[in-house]
Amino acid sequence: MKLLIFGPPGSGKGTYSSRIEDRIDVKHISTGDIFRSAVKGNTDLGKKVKEYLDSGELVPDELVNKVVKERLEGTDDFILDGYPRTVEQAKFLDGFMDVDAIIVLDVTDEITIERLSARRVCKECGEVFHRLFNKPKKEGVCDKCGGELYHRDDDKPSVIRDRIKTYENMSEPVIEYFEGKIPFVINRCRKADAPIDKMVDGIISQLEEKDILS
């Protein structure tokens, strides 16, 4: 089974994908995993990707497409997170692979801001805590090393709103491209602390109802 997952920052794509991975035996693959694998393998494509990553530049669509294709060819049963990000990438994927379904995490801007702005990071060891889902035992103090927890600049509401807008501008044309071609499973979350397992139950049920799970 080949699945794609879309969702704004803070929607929990990684968390949902990991839970779905456990439930229906698909592998969670992110573009980050794909890039790291290519770079680690020291392939020709991986070397080119590393040049862009090291310089802080965006990896061009053409190169992203080649790296993703190299990683996914012959691979079955996965949930892909972070690709395609552009219509050109969507067209490329559509040309070499049949996707069974697209999971869309429909989360309001308010929930996204509430979730991301509640994240705290340890200044010493980098451990991540969350005031809704993973609270430290002592407010402002890291459970792991006792370091001070801080609020990252990119987790502040004004920056989060910019990240949401960027996601919308990039993802909406991609989702529109696939509409009518591939079944969609929509997961609507309207509470910031909604139980993940219950949300995953809903996604699995929709996959079953659409005869996507065999």
- Residues serving a catalytic function are 13, 85, 119, 152, 163
Residue 108: φ, ψ to 5°:
-70, 155
Phi-psi region of 186 (alpha: psi -120 to 50; beta: other; left: phi over 0): beta
Please report where in the chains the tokens 């200044």 appear, as a residue: 123
Tokens of 125: 């060891």
Q: Which helix (H) or strand (E) holds 83?
A: none
DSSP state of 58: P
DSSP state of 155: G
Neighbour count for residue 74 (Cβ, 10 Å): 5
**39-to-17, 24, 50, 52, 177 alpha-carbon distances in Å:** 23, 29, 6, 11, 30
Q: Which residues lie closer than 8 Å to 44 by C-beta, 6 or more apart?
A: none
